[in-house]
Homo-oligomer: A and B are copies of this chain.
Amino acid sequence: MDESEDVPKDFIKLKSEKLSVDEVSELVISPNCGAVSLFIGTTRNNFEGKKVIHLEYEAYTSMAEMEIKKICRDVRQKWPSVKHIAMHHRLGVVPITEASVIIAVSSPHRTESLEAVTYCINTLKAFVPIWKKLLFILTPSRGQTERVLSSLLGGKVRFCVGLWKSLESALHWTALQFARDL
């Protein structure tokens, strides 16, 4: 690589295809840098104690890209030795264990890239308009089930212990929740 071509660059992408750690890290590698720090956000199988079965990301795309560009500008002010910054975010369905976001930052020495990548992910979570839509499996309690059935049937429903025991293991509710991705 011609060193004069190795000017600092920002690589920003919102896309629905699977993200690649190798691809994002390759973008920021520079012959002048000894450090690349990365953060990968992956889909967990649980959220606030509930079992997640499906997760989708939605974004206000143009605004999200503008906010991510602002984060890159902030990084360059705070850590002037940072070389390249790459921030890729996946939209749509992201299966459990797959990456929803990958951020990579290169710098000559390690402290700057480690601090900058932490700043990038914290600021992205706080300010970039990307939300997640989660589908949970919930296991309802006896009282919850009685209340829902009572309101559906328009009269009081109470389970005796024996009936509840045989129903309990078969009952699952699914619940949809929108959340800011903090």
Contact = CB atoms under 8 A, between A and B. Distances in A.
A9 to B, nearest CB: 15
Nearest to A110: B121
Interface string A29-46: 111111111111111111
A-side interface size class: 20 to 34
Interface in A9-65: 20-22, 25, 29-46
Nearest to A22: B22
Interface of A: 1, 3, 20-22, 25, 29-46, 96-97, 106, 108, 110, 114, 117-118, 121
Can you tell how many copies of this chain the complex includes? 2
Contacts of A45: 3, 31-32
Contacts of A108: 44
B114 A39 contact: yes
Contacts of A33: 42, 44
A22 to B, nearest CB: 5
A40 B114 CA distance: 10
A40 B35 contact: yes
Interface centre among A25, A39, A40, A45 (most CB of B within 10 A): A40
A44 B31 CA distance: 5
A25 B98 CA distance: 11
